[in-house]
Amino acid sequence: VQLQASGGGLVQAGGSLRLACAASGRTFSGYTVGWFRQGPGKEREFVTALRWNGSGTYAANSVRGRFSVSRDRAKNTVYLQMNSLQPEDTAVYYCAAVPRFLITSMFSSSQEYDYWGQGTLVTVSS
């Protein structure tokens, strides 16, 4: 499966953006799809993830209550809605997928994901 992330851009602090991760080559059925990010000079970190069947989502503490993940079955796309953005959210955001349902404790492990998108840059100005 090929992943295409889009929707990044420049936004002021307190603003919102919605990222999209579209799959081609096959559907997300049976997949776990996650979002990760890598800020300047930082290591890649987990943001949030969901199982395609809707049986569970999980978000990192740093974004919980501000970011949410959802899916559109018809478009075979996963979205990351980001609200109340702060400068520390500035990063390249990557979507990733693995063709099985991960248990919740494994959502945040980047090593569990087999496929990665190219990343989309989000810049939050103060």
Output the six-digit token pair for 80. Answer: 């990351």
Rg of the chain over Cα atoms, rounded to whole angstroms, equals 13
Question: What integer pLDDT is reported at residue 104 of this predicted model?
Answer: 86
Using a pLDDT cut of 70, give the percent of the chain over it.
100
Q: What is the pLDDT of residues 15-68, one digit of tens each?
A: 999 999 999 988 999 999 999 999 999 999 999 999 998 888 899 999 999 999
Question: What integer pLDDT is reported at residue 54 of this predicted model?
Answer: 80
Which residue, among 43, 47, 66, has the nearest Cα to 58 in the 3D structure?
Answer: 47
Question: What integer pLDDT is reported at residue 16 of this predicted model?
Answer: 98
Output the six-digit token pair for 33. Answer: 């799809």
104 or 120: which carries more pLDDT confidence? 120
3-state SS assignment for residue 117: coil
Question: What integer pLDDT is reported at residue 13 of this predicted model?
Answer: 98
Strands across the sheet with 77-82, in order? 2-6, 17-24, 77-82, 67-72
